[in-house]
């Protein structure tokens, strides 16, 4: 289980003046669920496309399943499964015809083809819907089918680009069940998402912003290592006003809106008093204030701000 499945070194992609992916490094082990977390436009899709042999990198190196992404793209395509961000099955083909088509172009063995088809229909929970036109399926089922078709060649590695975008929470949970099941069978999974809660399902995640990997670790380690200071959750009246007031206090590392609460990162536990005082001075009634374990979102916000601070600092030099 310690075999390296994907290794990426200094991988860079430029489109004209725009650097979409900037010297990223990471390694993924076999059977791992590796999450790419970041906002839209951070470079997640570009990275996946390079790893799948759909885009040539500008510089850097990456090896996927033992094949080089700059010279052995067609070899890579045989051993991977890829589910693109945009639905890429044929709407005017039935479920069964779509599966047959992909089985045909991946040239799976005829003896196992029927069995494989049953397996895919089972995975995608499309039993009884084999002859329905794909375009008429609900979006969650479409995603299931897309995943099923990406598994047609029993890939060693599967790339899922925003697989749960636009799918309801219950269906998302089911989807992650399938992904975990795959990883349990030794399939390496690289999945991108911008849902923070989903990322908690991953063994390890890479946080990406502006084409740079700003952190890469397991969820727990990320929370522990990268969250310097203590996180207070403040429940109060007039949250927007409170946010503004607290942001003006220079002692705080970070102030962010978190649902109906304000999250404040401070250096010491005793800083709670400063929060209370600051809000009291503006006549904002504090209902509750307590330390909480940071969520991935807190870590992400904190890291991105740190990154941008660094950028500005180096810009000023």
Partner 1 sequence: MIKHIYAIMKKEFIHLIRDPRSLIISIFLPVILLFIYGYSVSFDVRNIPLAILDDSKTAQSRQLIDKFVHTGYFTIVEELRSGTQFHDALDSGRAKVVINIPSDFAKNIQRNKKVAIQVLLDGSDPIAASSALSYINGIAQQYFSGLLVAKGANPINLVSRIWYNENLRSLNFYIPGLISSILMMLAATLTSLTIVSEKEQGTMEALIASPIRKNELMIGKILPYVIIAFWDVIFVTVIGRYWFLVPIKGSITLMLFCSCIFLTGALAIGLLFSTIAKTSQEAMQLALLTTMLPSILLSGMVFPIENMPRVIQLVTYLVPARYFLRIMRGIFLKGVGISYLWGDIIPLTIFSMILMWLCIRAFKKRID
* 61-69, 78-86, 137-145, 219-227 -> range binding partner 1 (CB under 8 A): 78-86
Q: Confirm if 237 and 245 have CB atoms less than 8 A apart.
A: no
CB closer to partner 1, 149 vs 199: 149
| 68 touches partner 1 by CB under 8 A | no
Should residue 73 be labelled a site residue for partner 1 when binding is judged by CB under 8 A? yes
Q: Nearest-CA neighbor of 81 among 165, 149, 131?
A: 149
What's the min distance (Å) between Cβ of 100 and partner 1? Answer: 8
Q: How far apart are the C-alpha atoms of 146 and 129, rounded to whole Å?
A: 14
The yes or no reply on residue 106 touching partner 1 (CB under 8 A) is yes
What lies within 8 Å, CB to CB, of 102 at 6+ separation is: 149, 152
- Contact between 136 and partner 1 per CB under 8 A: no
15 — phi, psi (to 5°)? Answer: -115, 100
Contact with partner 1 (CB under 8 A) among 90, 154, 174, 297: 90
* Interaction of residue 166 with partner 1, rule CB under 8 A: no
Phi, psi of 243 (to 5 degrees): -60, -45
Q: What mask, x for binding partner 1 by CB under 8 A, covers residues 27 to 66?
A: ----------------------x--xxxxx----------
What's the CA gap between 218 and 234, in Å, rounded? Answer: 27
Can residue 77 be called a binding residue for partner 1 (CB under 8 A)? Answer: yes
Q: Kindly tell me the burial class for residue 198, based on how many C-beta atoms sit within 10 Å of its own C-beta (0-12, 13-18, 19 or more).
A: buried
The contact set with partner 1 (CB under 8 A) reads 49, 52-56, 73-74, 77-78, 80, 82, 84, 86-93, 97, 100-107, 149
């Amino acid at each position: 289980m310690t075999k390296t499945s994907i290794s990426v070194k200094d991988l860079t992609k430029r489109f004209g003046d725009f650097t979409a992916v900037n010297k990223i490094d990471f390694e993924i082990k076999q059977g791992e669920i590796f999450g790419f977390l970041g906002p839209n436009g951070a470079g997640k899709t570009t990275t996946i496309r390079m790893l799948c042999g759909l885009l040539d990198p500008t510089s850097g190196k990456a090896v996927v399943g033992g094949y080089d992404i700059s010279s052995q793209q067609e070899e890579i395509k045989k051993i991977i499964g890829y589910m693109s961000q945009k639905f890429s099955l044929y709407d005017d083909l039935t479920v069964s015809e779509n599966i047959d088509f992909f089985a045909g172009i991946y040239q799976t063995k005829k003896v196992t083809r029927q069995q494989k088809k049953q397996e895919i229909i089972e995975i995608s929970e499309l039993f009884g819907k084999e002859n329905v036109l794909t375009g008429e399926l609900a979006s969650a089922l479409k995603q299931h089918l897309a995943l099923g078709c990406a598994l047609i060649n029993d890939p060693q590695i599967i790339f899922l680009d925003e697989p749960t975008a636009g799918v309801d929470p219950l269906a998302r949970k089911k989807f992650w069940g399938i992904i975990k099941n795959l990883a349990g069978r030794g399939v390496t999974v690289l999945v991108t998402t911008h849902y923070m809660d989903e990322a908690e399902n991953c063994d390890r995640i890479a946080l990406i912003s502006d084409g740079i990997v700003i952190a890469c670790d397991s969820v727990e380690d990320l929370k522990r290592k990268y969250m310097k200071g203590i996180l207070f959750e403040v429940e109060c009246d007039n949250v927007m006003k409170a946010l503004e007031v607290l942001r003006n206090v220079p002692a705080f590392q970070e102030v962010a809106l978190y649902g109906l609460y304000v999250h404040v990162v401070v250096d010491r536990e005793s800083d709670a008093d400063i929060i209370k005082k600051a809000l009291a001075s503006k006549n904002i009634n504090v209902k509750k204030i307590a330390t909480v374990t940071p969520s991935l979102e807190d870590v992400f916000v904190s890291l991105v701000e740190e990154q941008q601070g660094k950028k500005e600092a180096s810009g000023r030099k």
